[in-house]
Structure 1
Amino acid sequence: MLITSIAKYLFLLALLYPHTVLAITSEPDPAESASLYEQALMKFHSGEIDISVIHLKNALQADPSFLAGHVLLGRSYLEQGYASLAIKEFKSALTLGADKSLLVEHLARAYQLQRNFKQLLAEIYPGNYGKRLNAFILVARGEAYFQLGRLGKARLEFADAEKVDPGNVDALLGIATVLLRQARFKESDELINRVIALSPENPAVWYTKGALYHALSKFEESRKFYSKALEFSPGHYQAKLARAGVLMDDGNYQQAEKDLYLLYKKSPEDPQVAYLLATTLRQNGSRKKASEIMKEAKQHLEILPPEIINDHGPTLFLAGLISYDLQEYQKAKSYLTSYVTRFPQEVRPRIVLATIYLQEQALTKASKLLEPALDVASNDIQVLLLLGDIYMRKREYFKASEMLERAARVLPENVGLMTSRGLNDIIRGLHDKGYPKLKEALKRDPQAGAAGFILVTSLLKEERFQEALEVARLLRGKSPDNPLVLNLVATTQVEAGMLSAARNTYLRTLQLVPDFYPGQVNLAKLELVERNLDKAEEQFLTLLEQWPDRLHLMVELARVNVLRGSLDKAIRWLEKAYRTDRQFFGAGVRLVDLYLRTGKNLEALRIAQEMKSNGGRDTQGSDIQVLTALGRAQLSTGDALSASITFKKASEQASFQSLSSLSEIAELQSIAGDLDGAIYSVEKFIAAYPGKDAALIQLIGLQLKRGRLDRAAVGISQLEKGGSTGVTERLKGDLKVAEGDLQAALQHYLLVLEASPVSSVAARVSQVYLMLGKKDEALVFVEGWVERFPDDDMLREILAQGYLSLGRLDDARVQFESLVERGRAGALVYNNLAIIYNTQKDLRAEDFARKAYGLDPDRASILDTLGWVLVKKGDSEAGLRLLRNAFARASTNPEIRYHIAVALKQLGRYEEARLELEAAVKEGVGFSELENARFLLKELEQLGVQKQ
């Protein structure tokens, strides 16, 4: 509480300056000083801090060198919340020779109160202080790093504190808070539960657990835990305020008002409570009462001298908020400017101050104030929306479009950061509540363009195209000549498949503002959508000539060439963009992808490692993209262990703005063989966004792979309660396969197919028949399926594979060739056709083998096929190089050894060929060319006898 009573504070106010106390005597009077100190000490321990300060100031007037007086006065100021005055006294005491162990804890608390975390880190270190104090110092340092956003450093300090003092509750809660900030909710909750077991009556534990559930927007649970904190500490101020804050965030302003009234009645002079209560009253329609209480909050602040307000950061910010609410904008600007100057890393005050500038039409001031906030919080949705609005009014449409698009990208992951109730509902997944609120906001406020942009974008992500079009048209009706609105309408039309209408809207936009850059870019993108690649390329090149610094245009030109199949040209564009700015990770990540697609795995690894070393401008999202790209590159070079470590880092670092990437990371972790890591990633996503069926389905699949059948069964039961019948039956089948009950699995799969023809389930039916040893039934089933669904390419390929495995080469060839004719052939289809053609001595074998190799140059089976085709053609040297590479990737495959032996024999290297054949025959029981291998081995042995 900032002030205990007006009367007491007025009395205290008279004691804060030298001229209000007794005149300093000419000579020190140690006796008087000591007497006054003892009186002060008794008052301090009885809680009468104000009177204690009087005695101490008089004691130091009597003897300025009285060390104990400086220490106690500093502690008294600290109790009152006056950090600068406390620090001054502590520094005086140290100068006079005070033992630092006596002051280090108080000095650290003063810096915390002052929010001077850098100074705390510069001055406060553990030392020869004993276990308890060293643990406190390490925790304080951890909290300082945490406040500065350096979570890794914070966690190390907290961990060190726990090592110094095992079971230290503050250290463990510090780690839990870091995990919470990193969106590692499950781990945070587990650690908090561990601390609860250690200290079940510690209110800080329950307060932290409340904060965890508050962050997850689980408001009911959050309130429960804040209430638990208050059971053990009824006066826990932060828990009371936080509980009221939960009610406000949940939109329960009626109950929030009741709770805040209780605080207000007990402490009517606390401006923070008054401010929150006034805000709640206004939401509940009591505008007159809200205004009265807000004015009271102002009065409580005005009795504070300016230096006290400026010294206490929260009070300074509160003063700005209260002045803003009362429309005293000059005062608000003064307070908020002072706050931003002192705490430039803080984003919220910048937002409020920029809003004032916006109201005053001081658009340039507003944008200059907010732009630095992007360096601190690049994905803060309020900053992005406000900047989008400012740029829109400045007619800087490109910048406006960029900000609003970025806001739309982070919206689904940005939990608990929105003041708009409609947007907050959308974030929490309550779309049916959120969308009507936003639409109502648009109807009330024609200028609510940012909210409209977010609403349309959210509806598009939900594939609710008609609703998105409805809102876009509403915006257009209110701002028919706003190019940004027209651009949004056209984009919505593209997503809805109305390409002709979209083209007309884009053209209308450019008629109004010919140099409207977002419209020009989107028109070129529309050419891409319609596969008018030459037109798209021409338009992007023209734009690049006009805007050579817009590197994303090079990325678009790369996309054009990818669609053409000109991957080398696409790579050159991306290389140019990345070389121009090595922190342009948008180009770098795509470059890694194309390097991987074209077999340049070491180049991909080099670029990914370089990006990781460089760091980026957008650390919120790009770090995850870079780590994911690095892991993929590591996987491509066969380094699954390093890839697993990298993917684990990406998963751990994924925060609110990047949680959507966890699904992809989990898939890659599974490929790398780290099923536990993959499970962690999906569980982390589910902890943040419960109720997402797709994530639960992915988790169940991973649990089945991991052999955790009981957990998979629990997940299936949970999914079934949600009504996902088809998926549930399929997963039940998968569970039965894992349990070995193939007949039951078959029944589940057939139930799915009765309801809907699902290719992946049909493939499972075929596989179960094969596992049961019923090859004929499997083939009949797949033949019947392909006859019923001739466009099902997955099953057609399975059918072709079945024919190939049975040696029915002509039937297999027909099915594979059908896939090629339909444009559905991938690397394996081309490879299998090459095998068939090679066996049948068809000259097309080499062409198809090379097509397969061009699509997947690192797959052992494809390298083997092309190498064998070349060997049979007589080009043994070229073939052998490919076969060696194939063997390096599949060293247990005896067929590759046989092919190598044939190549070696053709090159006259008989002894080496014999050794390869001996290994192949020894390893390869049952491989298709075993008899040929034995025959060649006997032939070589005979040649060897002749040589001897």
Structure 2
Amino acid sequence: MTVLAGALAVCLSSSAHADSVKASRFYEDALKRFERRDVDGAIIQLKNALQQDARLLSVHVLLGKALLSRSEAAAAEIEFNEALQLGINRAEVAVPLAQALVAQGKQADVFKLAVLNPDGLPDATRQALLLVRAGAASDLGDAPRAQALVDDARALNANAPEAWVAEVPLRVRARQFDRADVAADRALQLAPNNAEALYQKATIAHVQGRLDEALRGYDRVLAVDSRHLEAQLARLGILVDQGRQEPAQAALQALLKQAPTEPRALYLSAVLAERRGDGPAASNALKAVTTQLDPVPLDYIRYRPQALMLNGLAHYGLGEPLKAKPYLEYAQRVQPNSPLSKLLAQVYAAEPNLDRASEVLETYLKAFPGDSQALVMMASLQMAQGRHGRATALMQEALRGRDAPEFHTALGLSLIRGGQIGSAADELEKAFQRDPGQTYAGLSLATLYLRNGQPAKAVAVADRLVKQQPGNPSVWMMQGAARQANKDIAGARQSFQQALQVDGRLAEPQLGLARLDIIERQFDAAQARLDTLLRVDERQVDALYEMALLSEARGQPAEVQRWLSKAVDASTPRQTRADQALVAWLLRQDQPGAALEAARRLLGKVPDDLQAMITYARVQLANRDTAGAKATLNSAARRSGFDPQPLVDIAALQLAAKDPTGAAYSLDKALSSAPQHVPALALSATVALQQGNPVQAEKQARQVISLQPTRAVGHLLLADVFQARHQPAQALEALRKAHEVEPTSGSLLALMRALSHQDGGGKAAAELAERWLQARPGDVAAWKALGDTQARAGSFTSARKSYDAALRLRPNDAETLNNQANVLLKLGEATAALPLADKALALEPRNALVIDTAGWAHHLAGNGERALQLLRDARLREPGNPEIRYHLAAALAQAGRKTEAREELDAALKNRAFGSVKEAQALGQTLR
């Protein structure tokens, strides 16, 4: 870096740090305002914070809660989703996000969204979410499910009054007033001054027509919480019904002062105005109602019949029957079961009953012809019904009548389209052996060999093609590609140049030569070739794509994205290579949201394409949409042929989506056509272990060893089997064997882990790594593993040296930077740790552990504001990590926020096994 560039980097870093400090100050002020119910002031300060630093998790969460308290549910949902996108732990936002969805009439989404699955959440959060779900189920008309959810919530903590309060409206809806009373009374026994429990108790009397008793009940609520909106509204409604004009008017004025735009209050204002003969005031109040409710989408209030009726009556009162009609109809309408048709079609397709699935979708599309999801499903079903199985059967029948090479070629090609790659290769080999003039068979066979990682066989086929047809540039191009895959760069260059000699107008040989220039780091030569092609055609997709590869080789990330985007724009609907590359690039650049948009465009172009579906699922997982990824992968597995490798790719993603059953289906399908496919066997053994079947896993692991005795993979699988059976000695022996037959970094690390567990201190593991590194000092992974082992053993000085060695080899490794920073902190060198921690943070800004290290380093270095901001962020991402919560407690204590510090420390000390437990206990003594 030049001096000028270095100075600029320092300036930019300082500016970003200053913005971050400003943002932290705005947040702390907003938090204080929110705590004293100055919601408007809090929102202003939070928006100020976001102008300084839009990535602060704590700001998005508090802003969402503030907006939700102000009934701005859609805006709140955006903030909670932004926090999730930035990496917050879902436990921090699950409940308010669910509340925001319910407030918008998105009750069904509360059950669909993966982030709102109660499983795996802390008990308190899980209970609160179950109660929100209960309300949503009740809105959807599923009373049994709603009560079951309340029961599930109560099972977590029967002494939580909220779990009893939630039952009351369910019992009232079912007209089970005695049971409603029991639930309300139980809640009040647990919390006599709980405003919500008092309110629900009063509603029971109200619904039964005991109005005086209900009034007294609402008065008790307001004595506890004078701002309880629902109690004020209910009390006002009774006063209006009783014709008590003066007290009703006084109650209305107080209510409108607190909530001037509340539609129910405005409607009651119209009723009171009409009763006193003030027509203009009544009309103005009704207009105010429609002004509030008309902009709200019907979907937001479809489970709020009171709001629907209110707006319908308001429009009717204003003499607008056409506007009133949809609201009044919608209030009475039974919710259509529209999503069921699509779900049912998926079920039929899985059976598979494709004809019935098509019938269901056809019926649905008659009612909803513009449903893009249903149209995509219908298109995929039609293609599924037009698979090439019939063509394969016909060609097999033809071969029985006449054993001709061209028939073998046709059969091989149909098998490829059906995904039966092994059988396809057999047929193409027969065709090419019998007639080398079968060019298409030869080219397809060479392509199959390249796909299967057999470049030497591909070269042999290409050489025969070139000998047979030296005037065909396509066979020279195939030879060049095969030689390149076989690491013969000089030979590949000769083949591409020969193709140009045959036809100098072709772009493909120039592109091949440009790729070789990039491999050999002859960047200017590659640039010249590609510029020439783009001058002829600026939308030459392959040249644009190669420009992106050239930019990546030159270390120009912004240019990579620009060239890939241009290639995508120039691609035809069936050209997807640039789309795939753009998605992969965006994922590598940690831009999952942008990758999702690119993947959607890709799938929109080729909804039937298996690789597009696999890519889309991978991006869904990167965006934490596990449920969506499962659905995409299940569909891909069903629609896939029998080519084992795509099925292995699908199964690996299904495991990542925590769907071992789906993975087992995919792998069974792969092994049915290729029973000796090692990657499928290996992954199938892993799945068998996850499903609790070590016998099957061992059988497949030993099969892998027999097929590839000089590879480590089978022995590593066998070690997993022994570990699952709690046989550490046998597992260790299998790991030693794996490292013996294939001594790699991977087998070394696996053996080191096992040795560390066996001897506790890790001495044997460290000695193994040291011997390895004497012969291979450039192995970064081994240096890192050695450093980790030494750090766990408390040998921080040795660990420091090992991490230094790793960083000399790979200076921008975020994990090593983070670990080295932690070691330096353990050695009491916070000043030295700080730049390493900040560098790791710049490389991994979403990693909670990296954020925590940086925050702790800033705390120990005396940078309190920056420390507090970072540690709040880390805690929101991993609230279950006691070390992080202790660090945050220490920072809060230093900032004078002792109450909040005690809360964090109490949460941390629920786990007594973390590294800083003694320090945490000592801090607790100072906070008493």
> Which band: TM-score by shorter chain?
0.5 to 0.7
State which structure, 1 or 2, has the greater radius of gyration over its C-alpha atoms: 1
Indicate the residue corresponding to 1:602 in structure 2. 593
Indicate the residue corresponding to 1:801 in structure 2. 788
Distance across 2 between alignment mates of 1:637 and 1:928: 32
Distance across 1 between alignment mates of 2:915 and 2:404: 78
Secondary structure at the aligned position of 1:857 is classed as coil
1:8-42 C-alpha deviation (Å, 9 max, x unpaired): xxxxxxxxxxxxxxxxxxxxxxxxxxxxxxxxxxx
Change in Cα spacing, 1:802 to 1:607, as seen in structure 2 (3 Å) is same
Contact 1:779 1:799 in 2 (8 A): yes
CA positional deviation for 1:525: 1.2
CA positional deviation for 1:467: 4.3
1:156 correspondence with 2:142 = no
Change in Cα spacing, 1:181 to 1:723, as seen in structure 2 (3 Å) is farther
Indicate the residue corresponding to 1:441 in structure 2. 435
1:265-302 C-alpha deviation (Å, 9 max, x unpaired): xxxxxxxxxxxxxx43x759xxxxxxxxxxxxxxxxxx
Match of 1:815, as an amino acid? S
CA positional deviation for 1:519: 0.9
Indicate the residue corresponding to 1:676 in structure 2. 661
Contact 1:644 1:674 in 2 (8 A): yes
User: Per chain length, whose mean CA-contact separation is higher, i.e. which structure has more relative contact order (CA < 8 Å, sep 6+)?
Assistant: 2
Contact 2:476 2:499 in 1 (8 A): yes
Distance across 1 between alignment mates of 2:700 and 2:621: 30
Contact 2:415 2:423 in 1 (8 A): no
CA positional deviation for 1:551: 3.0
Deviates more, 1:518-527 or 1:493-502: 493-502
CA positional deviation for 1:712: 1.4
1:451 correspondence with 2:462 = no
Indicate the residue corresponding to 1:403 in structure 2. none
Contact 1:183 1:654 in 2 (8 A): no
CA positional deviation for 1:441: 1.6
Contact 2:818 2:840 in 1 (8 A): yes
Match of 1:473, as an amino acid? D
Indicate the residue corresponding to 1:586 in structure 2. 577
Change in Cα spacing, 1:470 to 1:678, as seen in structure 2 (3 Å) is closer
Change in Cα spacing, 1:582 to 1:914, as seen in structure 2 (3 Å) is farther
1:468 correspondence with 2:463 = no
* Count of equivalent residues: 560
CA positional deviation for 1:835: 2.3
1:437-473 C-alpha deviation (Å, 9 max, x unpaired): 514422xx3xx43233223333434554444334433
1:383-431 C-alpha deviation (Å, 9 max, x unpaired): 9x9xxxxxxxxxxxxxxxxxxxxx8xx9856457xxxxxxxxx741765
Contact 1:597 1:856 in 2 (8 A): no
Match of 2:445, as an amino acid? L
1:812 correspondence with 2:799 = yes
1:521 correspondence with 2:511 = yes
Indicate the residue corresponding to 2:367 in structure 1. none
Secondary structure at the aligned position of 2:435 is classed as helix
Change in Cα spacing, 1:488 to 1:635, as seen in structure 2 (3 Å) is closer
CA positional deviation for 1:685: 1.5
Indicate the residue corresponding to 2:474 in structure 1. 484
Distance across 2 between alignment mates of 1:706 and 1:844: 47
Distance across 1 between alignment mates of 2:404 and 2:658: 53
CA positional deviation for 1:663: 1.9
Indicate the residue corresponding to 1:544 in structure 2. 534
Match of 1:543, as an amino acid? L
Indicate the residue corresponding to 1:896 in structure 2. 884
Change in Cα spacing, 1:667 to 1:547, as seen in structure 2 (3 Å) is same
Residues 783-862 of structure 1: matches in 2 within 5 Å? 783-787=770-774, 789-823=776-810, 826-840=813-827, 841=829, 843=831, 845-862=833-850
CA positional deviation for 1:802: 0.3
Secondary structure at the aligned position of 1:428 is classed as helix
Distance across 2 between alignment mates of 1:538 and 1:684: 48
Contact 1:597 1:855 in 2 (8 A): no
Indicate the residue corresponding to 1:738 in structure 2. 724
Distance across 2 between alignment mates of 1:184 and 1:715: 35
Contact 2:409 2:431 in 1 (8 A): no
CA positional deviation for 1:930: 2.6
1:95-125 C-alpha deviation (Å, 9 max, x unpaired): xxxxxxxxxxxxxxxxxxxxxxxxxxxxxxx
5+ unaligned residues in a row in structure 2: which ranges?
1-344, 363-379
CA positional deviation for 1:518: 0.5
1:911 correspondence with 2:899 = yes
Distance across 2 between alignment mates of 1:382 and 1:500: 35
Distance across 2 between alignment mates of 1:688 and 1:832: 46
Distance across 1 between alignment mates of 2:462 and 2:562: 38
Distance across 2 between alignment mates of 1:628 and 1:492: 26
Secondary structure at the aligned position of 1:925 is classed as coil
CA RMSD after TM alignment: 4.2
Contact 2:791 2:799 in 1 (8 A): yes
Change in Cα spacing, 1:791 to 1:182, as seen in structure 2 (3 Å) is farther
**Identical counterparts, % of pairs:** 26
Indicate the residue corresponding to 1:560 in structure 2. 550
Contact 2:739 2:751 in 1 (8 A): no
Change in Cα spacing, 1:471 to 1:747, as seen in structure 2 (3 Å) is closer
Indicate the residue corresponding to 1:704 in structure 2. 689
Distance across 2 between alignment mates of 1:832 and 1:820: 11
Change in Cα spacing, 1:806 to 1:450, as seen in structure 2 (3 Å) is same
Secondary structure at the aligned position of 1:599 is classed as coil
CA positional deviation for 1:683: 1.8
Q: Normalising to structure 1: TM-score of the pair?
A: 0.52
Indicate the residue corresponding to 2:700 in structure 1. 715
5+ unaligned residues in a row in structure 1: which ranges?
1-141, 162-177, 186-210, 218-241, 250-255, 257-278, 285-350, 353-379, 386-406, 417-425, 942-948
Contact 2:595 2:619 in 1 (8 A): yes
1:300-343 C-alpha deviation (Å, 9 max, x unpaired): xxxxxxxxxxxxxxxxxxxxxxxxxxxxxxxxxxxxxxxxxxxx
CA positional deviation for 1:547: 1.8
Distance across 2 between alignment mates of 1:595 and 1:484: 33
Counterpart pick for 1:632 among 603, 618, 625:
618
Counterpart pick for 2:873 among 865, 885, 895:
885
Contact 1:598 1:854 in 2 (8 A): no
Contact 2:476 2:495 in 1 (8 A): yes
Indicate the residue corresponding to 2:733 in structure 1. 747
Residues 765-784 of structure 1: matches in 2 within 5 Å? 765-775=751-761, 776-784=763-771
Counterpart pick for 2:565 among 572, 575, 597:
575
Change in Cα spacing, 1:653 to 1:878, as seen in structure 2 (3 Å) is farther
1:500 correspondence with 2:701 = no
Counterpart pick for 1:428 among 406, 415, 423:
423
Change in Cα spacing, 1:477 to 1:625, as seen in structure 2 (3 Å) is closer
Change in Cα spacing, 1:160 to 1:466, as seen in structure 2 (3 Å) is closer
